Amino acid sequence: MGTKQAGKARQSQKSKPSRSAGAALSTSAQAVGSSRTAAAAPVRVGVVGVPPMMVIGLAALFEGSPKVCIVQDGILELLRDSSLTVLLVGAPNESALQELMATVRVYRPDVRMLVFSPAVAEEDILRVIAAGAKGHLHDAASVAEIEQAVQIVASGSIWAPRRVLALLIERLTLASPVRGQRAPAELTLRERDVMELLLAGHPNKAIASAMKIDEQTVKAYVSRLMRKVGVKSRTALTMHAVENAWLETPR
């Protein structure tokens, strides 16, 4: 891709509406993500399992972006790069995607994975989130959508289409309590409130605002919930709650 072509592509992509449905990529976390300051350093994003020409195109589109820096390198070099916050992960099929994600989890459990694929089915997206991804982004997403998804995932929240988040909540509320492990008996009402907001995809700042408490208190609640379950991440906590119908337990 030549310099002139890259410039035209960058200008065109930024001015055109997304080819993917905007509502499908609108989550409850997006409004909070848009308030991040422009002065923050760009998030360094590695790209693995994505076709080389698409990687080159992404790098050209985000050249000079104050929010996202695309890092081009081999998978081994990317896994060794401790400066990376987010990995944009793709694969030719679901089996290859799951294998690649498992490799990333082994060598870089700290990095946040954002799956980049043409999948639109709710079940496909739910599976990648259950497998450890922080979110899913359609490969026809616009530059603005990619920037926002990266910012949300880098902050520790989950990025997913609204319909997928709704499905998570629906499964939580309709699941039979006998299917899984009930919520710990000592779960407090405030911990339940935090859990409900986590399931809706809200980051700490939004939870603090909704509950009228400070962010440090929210972090303390989340840490306490993770200790009770025996997990080490917000994603694992959320999926555990969904799979085991925690909020079916009467208040």
Is residue 195's pLDDT more than 80?
yes
Provide the token pair at 227. 């200790």
24, 28, 44, 122, 170 from 163: Cα distances, Å? 7, 11, 28, 8, 10
**Which residues is 89 bridged to in the sheet?**
48, 115
Is residue 117's pLDDT more than 60?
yes
Instruction: Give the per-residue pLDDT at 120.
Output: 84
DSSP string, 172-214: HHHS-GGGSPPPPTT--HHHHHHHHHHHTT--HHHHHHHHTS-
pTM: 0.58
Q: Are the C-beta atoms of residues 136 and 159 closer than 8 Å to each other?
A: yes
Q: Which residues contact 19 (CB under 8 A, 6 or more apart)?
A: 140, 142
**Residue bearing the bigger pLDDT, 182 or 146:** 146
Rounded Cα distance, 59 and 220, in Å: 38
**Which residues is 46 bridged to in the sheet?**
71, 87
Q: Which residues contact 239 (CB under 8 A, 6 or more apart)?
A: 129, 130
- pLDDT tens string 69-85: 999 999 999 999 999 99
Q: Domains of the chain (ranges plus CATH)?
A: 3-160 (3.40.50.2300), 175-246 (1.10.10.10)
Instruction: Give the per-residue pLDDT at 200.
Output: 66
Q: How far is CA 193 from the centre of its chain?
A: 21
